[in-house]
Structure 1
Amino acid sequence: MFITLLLLAVPTVALRVLGVLGVARFATWQVCAAHGLAFMLLMTGAAHFAPASVTAIPNHDDLTAMVPSFIPFPDFTVYATGVLEYLGALGLVLERFRRPAGLALALMFVLLLPANIHAAVDHISFHGDPATPLWFRVPEQLVYIAVALFAALGVASKTRATVAAT
């Protein structure tokens, strides 16, 4: 249940430690959070394309089961969100695209809330494991929204500070 959060938190903190040790790229929490979220998205994005025979991580069929019935083309939707996760990850690590990527990812995470609620309420499990409860899924999704906005708006603040200084 906490694995996805760890895929975000551990790289973020590790990169910030590198920043403290002098790696200039990771000098701010915003940049580290952007890279940590990108790492998480690369890992979770893989599940969107994993065949049913893969059991180490959730697979495409698991994620398709999460798609509420009012969403058309669930297979396509899962593939599309996987592509969007990869594109979002790429945008987060490229400073030029961090702001639009972070904002777009925050919107995507909001749009994914119905799937997470559906999975919890209808007890959709991955590989027979118990479904993640609603009390965890919704706050977890809110964390991802907050981190995406933090990463995006950190770039905006830096840009405004640079403009103000000139």
Structure 2
Amino acid sequence: MSTTVATVTENPYFVDPLVVLVAVTVATRLLGTLGVESASSWRNAARYGLACTFAVTSLSHFTATRSDLVRLVPEILPYPAAIVTVTGVLELAGAVGLLRRSIARVTAVGLALLLVAMFPANVVAAREGIGVGGTPATPFWFRTLVQLGFIVLLLWTARSDSSTALESDTVAEGATPRR
């Protein structure tokens, strides 16, 4: 009798963006415990984790998984390939924006809205059983929970907290501040 062990790519509950988010957030927070100032809070660690996650997911819009993402665009929308391109660019811009203190709050809210706008793709994936990159389709209820988790985390990182600055607000005496 042989047993088959499912690989990670065969597990519909293994969601790459969630793994990236958790790994980078925890690693960043650990750096904070070692004295890295910008990683000294969970809010900043989550912001870094989200930035890495959106950077990684944006790449999927331009690589071998692109055709899968195009299939997820609801049929009612025109130009699905263009939509995938635009959302990929927005995700990458959002990743950068999360790292800039001056725009991190508005970027986090913008990315949360982007996730709401892209949610219908999750419905298509669940209804039609479409996986991305050769993985099986993630069950709708789990996709929904993960998406809600990302939205809540983005909005939490958007909250004002002066003790979690990503960049220093202080400028050395006589130095010109960066713009």
**Counterparts of 2:73 and 2:135, CA distance in 1:** 18
User: Relative contact order, CA 8 A, sep 6+: which one is greater?
Assistant: 2
Q: Secondary structure at the match of 1:13?
A: helix
**Counterparts of 1:97 and 1:46, CA distance in 2:** 22
User: C-alpha displacement at 1:128, in angstroms?
Assistant: 4.2
Task: Report how many residues are paired.
Answer: 150
Paired residue for 1:106? 112
User: C-alpha displacement at 1:21, in angstroms?
Assistant: 1.2
User: C-alpha displacement at 1:79, in angstroms?
Assistant: 0.3
Of 95, 119, 122, 1:116 maps to 122
- Report which of the two has the higher share of helix: 1
Q: Secondary structure at the match of 1:112?
A: helix
Paired residue for 1:45? 58
Q: Does 1:94 align with 2:107?
A: no
Gaps of 5+ in 1: 160-166
Deviation sequence 1:29-74 (CA, Å, 0-9, x none): 1111111001011111101011xxx3xxxx1101001111112110
Deviation sequence 1:100-147 (CA, Å, 0-9, x none): 100000101111111111111111123443211102111010111011
- Structure with the greater alpha carbon radius of gyration: 2
Paired residue for 1:7? 20
User: C-alpha displacement at 1:20, in angstroms?
Assistant: 1.2
Q: Secondary structure at the match of 1:105?
A: helix
* Structure 1 outlier segments of 4+, above 3 Å: none
Deviation sequence 1:3-35 (CA, Å, 0-9, x none): 221110110011011111110011111111111
Q: How does 1:1-166 map to 2 (within 5 A)?
A: 1-50=14-63, 54=64, 59-153=65-159, 156-158=160-162
Percent of aligned pairs sharing the same letter: 39
Gaps of 5+ in 2: 1-13, 164-179
| Paired residue type of 1:12 | T
Paired residue for 2:177? none
Q: If the length of structure 1 is used for normalisation, what is the TM-score?
A: 0.86
| Paired residue type of 2:70 | T
**Counterparts of 1:114 and 1:11, CA distance in 2:** 27
**Counterparts of 2:129 and 2:141, CA distance in 1:** 13
**Counterparts of 1:61 and 1:143, CA distance in 2:** 26
| Paired residue type of 2:87 | T
